[in-house]
Amino acid sequence: MTSQGRIDVAPADWEQVVSGLQREGFVLFDFITAVDRGARLEVVARVINPATRVPVMVWTTLPADAAELSSLSGIYLGATWCEREAAEMFGVRFIGLGDSRPLLLRASLGEPPMRKSSALVARAIRDWPGAAQSTDDGRQGANPSRRRQLPPGVPEGFLRDNPLDSDVSGDVR
């Protein structure tokens, strides 16, 4: 079952599988975090058997727009911190998590910053050095129809949908 050190479970079995691992001797909780795959959000927990020093990573996949998962804080009390962090960074809602206060960020921050859909505002308001067009496109002469490139981390239309005060960029520069 754990030959590769990896177990993939359905979200409904999440708590039960980890609870079973704990009974098998995986009593040391390492971390919980998430990976943004676009439409899917993968959540991973790592637990260790201190007697054999064998680690296991348990993975599950959630829909990104309805990321809900049972909390492991009832199994490992230390999971509370990691789940609070994953909740505020990735927008995962942990059902049964007793302490749901933000751990590191302001509650008013809005979109979870570790989601790829979260815009990097500091990049949106600064001129991107890479926006200058390379002329090394193998064609003769200028090509004005070429689409302007956006920097990574700034979604298309972000500035149009979120007009920024002109004095904001003055502060950042």
Choose among 76, 87, 168: nearest CA to 125.
168
Q: From residue 55 to residue 94, what is the string marking binding to other proteins with x (rule CB under 8 A)?
A: ----------------------------------------
**Comparison of 72 and 124: residue with beta carbon closer to other proteins:** 124
3-state secondary structure of 48: strand
3-state secondary structure of 163: coil
**Comparison of 110 and 141: residue with beta carbon closer to other proteins:** 141
Answer for the pair 107, 100: CB distance below 8 angstroms, yes or no: no
The rounded distance, in Å, linking the Cα atoms of 89 and 102 is 9
**Comparison of 77 and 142: residue with beta carbon closer to other proteins:** 142
Q: Quote the least distance from Cβ 136 to other proteins, whole Å.
A: 5
The rounded distance, in Å, linking the Cα atoms of 142 and 16 is 62
The interface with other proteins within residues 114-153 (CB under 8 A) comprises 123, 126, 128-130, 132-136, 140-141, 149, 151
Q: Tell me the number of residues near other proteins by CB under 8 A.
A: 14
Both tokens of 55, joined, read: 């680690």
Q: Quote the least distance from Cβ 12 to other proteins, whole Å.
A: 39
Q: Quote the least distance from Cβ 114 to other proteins, whole Å.
A: 16
The rounded distance, in Å, linking the Cα atoms of 21 and 38 is 29
Both tokens of 168, joined, read: 């904001």
* Residues forming a β-bridge with 35: 42
Q: Quote the least distance from Cβ 165 to other proteins, whole Å.
A: 22
Q: From residue 11 to residue 40, what is the string marking binding to other proteins with x (rule CB under 8 A)?
A: ------------------------------
Q: Quote the least distance from Cβ 128 to other proteins, whole Å.
A: 7
Choose among 114, 148, 151: nearest CA to 134.
148
Give the footprint of other proteins on this chain (CB under 8 A).
123, 126, 128-130, 132-136, 140-141, 149, 151
